[in-house]
A and B are shown apart, each in its own frame.
Chain A
Amino acid sequence: MDMINLTIDNRPVSVKRGTSVLHAAAQVGIKIPSLCYMKLEDLNIENKPGGCRVCVVEVEGRRNLAPACCTDVAEGMVIQTHSMRAIHARRTVVELILSDHPTDCLKCAKAGNCDLQSMAQHLGIREIHYEGEQSTFREDTSPAIIRELDKCIRCRRCEMMCNEIQSVGALSAINRGFNAVISPAFEMNLDHSVCTYCGQCVAVCPTGALTEVDHTGAVIRALSDPSKTVIVQTAPAVRAALGEEFGDEPGTLVTGKMAAALRRLGFNYVFDTDFAADLTILEEGTELLNRLTAFLGGDKNVKLPMLTSCCPAWVKFFEHQFPDLKDIPSSARSPQQMFGSIAKTYFADKIGVNRKDLVVVSIMPCVAKKYECSREEFSVNGNPDVDFALTTRELAQLINLANIDFKSLPDEDFDHPMGESTGAGVIFGTTGGVIEAAVRTAYEVFTGKKLDRLDYTELRGMEGLRHATIDFNGLPIHIGIAHGLGNARKLLEDIQQGKSHFHAIEIMSCPGGCIGGGGQPYHHGDAEILKKRQMALYREDSGKPIRKSHENPYITKLYEEFLGAPMSEKAHHLLHTEYFDRSKS
């Protein structure tokens, strides 16, 4: 290997050619501050505009300070990261940013999680020696995301996520100089743009410029209204991340404590979206088998591959960008919406509550779920199936407000009947999980045989595009998996050009799947956190007594008592949906 030797802060360092000074320093435990730079290792996500200059270091023999994030190491380089000049320059840069930044820290949604705030603390900034004009941008509120660009530091992480990783193209840097800002075309509001609400811009924004719409107030109001029965569902990925908000190691599973906290918050029933994930598998799996059988029977009109449809950002993406393919995704609603639909019919009847007096709250790793539950087709006479979708972060906020000491909570169970779930439902939260859950059920239904193994490791992993072939009793089923919408785009273009050989494709918008969702505790650029959450979900799955959706006894009961069979007329009406061409709007 081609190694380069250099000296950083008087310590010898030997690293591979092409390494940046920032990474070389990190290898010997020297943490050069950085602000605009961000890298998610193994996910091919890197933001390196070299814009903020917080990372400047002194390089012997060079007149100017060099930005460590975008300066490659060279043989014999001598670097000082904390010379007086470097520290001074760093402080000046941050003071200049702060001089055009609202002094909102005490009441900013990002306080405590803001990289700019921590940087000011890190550098010991106690005074701002510069005074200048303040930017004033119009605040933009959409169904899911708030843009407060007075707090934007032009790091362009959001732009990189939206364009390079998601290939959505909703955001771009516009204008120049003092008026430069990141915005949708023609400075239109986000909700008029092609934005999918995936929330990945929110997930990486270092400041409070991009945040989710806060629904905690509305939920507190519902909880304190005695005329309302308030029930809650929690998505699979939440249990693998919520603990981080209370100081747990990433990858700690807090399923039991989460159920206990929700009960203490006053929810009348604490249910699990995993139950609805099992239901999704029965509907979507049946749809897949129907399409497959028709296809094998020579039906030329049948659409294959079938694409999953549980991610609302992905749905909005193809509605805008690939409307010609809108017949290909499964018509199955997402687990969140299946839950809401069943809760406000089957469950409301069971407990004798009118749907208007039943409030359904969901806890999601996701920003787009806020938008999804506000879509018109998911309401009956103006009453939505899911009233409010909170992010994992908002749940942590609610728990704090209610004076609950999360870490000392006992483990509790979910309530019945919509709290029972299988291991298959749990892994919905990670890339590869939905299709693995579907395979477990589809295989047994299709072949009539018992599976001899449940862990389809060939479907697991973190690569952005994966594929595997599963043997259905002599019939090879080709499966594709994409996470990140840019990767999804590649598979869709193959389909458009007739080059796709897949039978089924799973798509999730967020890198890593929902574990990396825009509503999760901030990862601050550490991809290890996502991997640990992923492992946690597989752990929860393997510890479950039942690991196949079709064996969930409460799902069986739901079909017997209420729905009839998967894809029945009633199931169609309550659990399936249609898609719209949004390319013209």
Chain B
Amino acid sequence: MPKIKLSQRTIEIVKEICLSFENNEGELINVLHEAQHKLGYLPAEVQELIAHELNMSIAKVYGVVTFYSFFNMLPQGEFPISVCMGTACYVRGAEQILHEIKRQLNIEVGQSTPDGKFSLNCLRCVGACGLAPVVMVGEKVYGRVAPQQIRKIIAEYQEGCVRPEKHEM
């Protein structure tokens, strides 16, 4: 994993988040959530810092980050695409959807496109089983998606979209 040096601002943000949870080890999941929300992803250096602030081992923090699929260790694309892999979605063809997205963007799960536009992740059940199979792009939910629609969905974001504001590390 390439080493990055966290900016002073990032360090402050992470420390503030930890402090807002009273540096309590039991709040790790909430701390990670908040950090990912603010920073976009959780690189190793951020996990190390959180471990230090909460006075717990880095291995444990990493264990939690890798246990839950909604945490990302790699920078997300401008438009993070998530495919729900919950039972309902799976049964209704989520795997074909995933395959199609991988094919079109030419990336694997967990990666982003070289231009930084899209990244791809799987999710456990998002609770929209009635709409299965479900794909999310950023916060936007697409229900009853068929593989043939993927090209159109991706095209929506290819150009002319406002860049969402994201903090720089």
Contacts and interface: CB of A to CB of B under 8 A. Distances in A.
* A and B: interacting chains: yes
Interface string A185-206: 1100000011000000000000
Contacts of B58: 169, 185-186, 194
B57 interface: yes
Contacts, number: 44
A175 B66 contact: yes
B29 interface: no
B56 A169 contact: yes
Contacts of A193: 59
B44 A172 contact: no
Nearest to B67: A176
Nearest to B44: A186
B9 interface: no
| B1, B44, B57, B60 interface centre (most CB from chain A within 10 Å) | B57
Contacts of A170: 57, 59
| A169, A172, A175 interface centre (most CB from chain B within 10 Å) | A172
B61 interface: yes
A169 B57 contact: yes
A163 B57 CA distance: 9
Interface in B22-66: 44, 47-48, 56-63, 66
Interface residues of B, number: 14
Nearest to B57: A169
B62 A185 contact: yes
Contacts of B48: 185
Interface in A148-182: 163, 168-176
A172 to B, nearest CB: 4
A168 B57 CA distance: 8
Interface residues of A, number: 16
A174 B57 contact: no
A485 to B, nearest CB: 13
A487 interface: no
B71 to A, nearest CB: 12
Main secondary structure of the interface of B (DSSP, over half): helix
Nearest to A195: B59
Contacts of B60: 163, 169, 172
Main secondary structure of the interface of A (DSSP, over half): loop
Contacts of A172: 57, 59-60, 62-63
A168 B56 CA distance: 10
Nearest to B48: A185
A175 B69 CA distance: 9
Given A186-B1, A186-B44, A171 B67 contact: no
Contact of B67 (A168, A174, A184, A194): A174
Contacts of B56: 169
A175 B44 CA distance: 15
A401 B61 CA distance: 45
Contacts of A175: 66-67
B58 to A, nearest CB: 4
A534 interface: no
Interface string B135-158: 000000000000000000000000
B35 to A, nearest CB: 16
A163 B58 CA distance: 11
Interface in A430-484: none
A520 interface: no
Contacts of B1: 186
B62 A186 contact: yes
B67 A183 contact: no
B66 A171 contact: no
Nearest to A170: B59
Contacts of A174: 59, 62-63, 66-67
Interface string A328-354: 000000000000000000000000000
Given A186-B1, A186-B44, A176 B57 contact: no
Nearest to A163: B57
Interface in A27-72: none
Contacts of B47: 185
Nearest to A183: B59
Contacts of A183: 59
A169 B66 contact: no
A183 B57 CA distance: 12
B67 A185 contact: no
Contacts of A186: 1, 44, 58, 62
Contacts of B67: 173-176
Contacts of B62: 172, 174, 185-186
A377 to B, nearest CB: 27
A173 B63 contact: yes
Nearest to B58: A185
Given A170-B57, A172-B57, 6 more contacts: A171-B59, A172-B62, A174-B59, A176-B66, A185-B44, A194-B57
10 contacts: A163-B57, A169-B57, A169-B58, A169-B60, A170-B59, A173-B63, A173-B67, A185-B59, A186-B62, A194-B57
Give 10 nearest A-B pairs by CB, closest first: A169-B57, A172-B63, A172-B59, A185-B58, A185-B62, A185-B59, A174-B66, A174-B63, A172-B60, A175-B66
